[in-house]
């Protein structure tokens, strides 16, 4: 999509860096909302993701035999420093970059917002995300197939209605709540379901099936 996504992405990176800079090192080892990853792992993933180029992504995917989980695990190892402070230094270094994998540019917003919450929520941190950033991320997830990490099939059977924005997506029983929680729910973050209500909420908690 449009290049105007980058100021939003860079703002999210800067905000997360500010939050991480306030953490004692032991908090970096807390579990994140991203299953199996610590706060440090998520930060390292964001370092690697910001470094990713289209060619590098394609080469890595072939090398890892099209196993996205293996590719992500390798990326965490590449991005992680010898200490939390080294990883934070790397995150600051890559924050201005405008590279990414072969995907819609708004996927960079999904990455920054969702992983930002993967870190913040378990630590009791909050951020007032720009409504445009959350809305763009949610719209992208709604039109992206599950096989590419999206929720297109899910929104074909659940209507997502934001109570804090003029935003309603999908068809079927309604799930209502803050736009940020809707985004997290369609990205598989089950704790966000507690913020939602409506008959469609239960469907958001079911395992997602790729097309």
| CB of 41 closer than 8 Å to CB of 34 | yes
**What is the arithmetic mean of pLDDT over 48-71?**
66
Domain boundaries in the chain?
A: 5-103, 131-204
- Region 158-164: mean pLDDT is 97
pLDDT tens sequence across 118-138: 999 999 999 999 999 999 999
Q: Tokens standing for 153? A: 């099939």
User: Can you give the pLDDT at residue 208?
Assistant: 47
- CA 191 to chain CA centroid, Å, is 14
Specify the pTM. Answer: 0.90
Distances (CA, A) of 81 to 39, 116, 201, 205: 13, 19, 39, 35
105-116 pLDDT, tens digit per residue, is 999 999 999 999
């Amino acid at each position: 999509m449009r290049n105007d996504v980058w100021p939003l992405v860079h703002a999210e990176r800067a905000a997360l860096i500010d939050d991480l800079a306030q953490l004692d090192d032991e908090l970096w080892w807390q579990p994140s909302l991203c299953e199996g990853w610590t706060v440090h792992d998520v930060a390292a993933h964001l370092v690697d993701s910001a470094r990713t180029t289209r060619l590098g992504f394609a080469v890595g995917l072939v090398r890892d035999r099209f196993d996205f989980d293996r590719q992500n695990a390798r990326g965490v190892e590449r991005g992680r420093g010898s200490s939390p402070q080294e990883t934070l230094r790397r995150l600051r270094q890559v924050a201005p970059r405008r590279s990414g994998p072969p995907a819609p540019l708004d996927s960079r917003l999904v990455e920054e917002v969702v992983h930002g919450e993967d870190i913040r929520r378990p630590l009791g941190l909050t951020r007032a995300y720009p409504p445009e950033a959350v809305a763009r991320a949610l719209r992208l997830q709604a039109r992206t197939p599950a096989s590419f990490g999206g929720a297109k099939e899910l929104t074909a059977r659940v209507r997502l209605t934001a109570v804090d924005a003029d935003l309603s997506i999908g068809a079927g029983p309604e799930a209502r709540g803050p736009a940020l929680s809707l985004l997290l729910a369609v990205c598989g973050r089950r704790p966000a379901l507690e913020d939602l209500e409506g008959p469609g909420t239960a469907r958001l908690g079911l395992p997602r099936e790729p097309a």
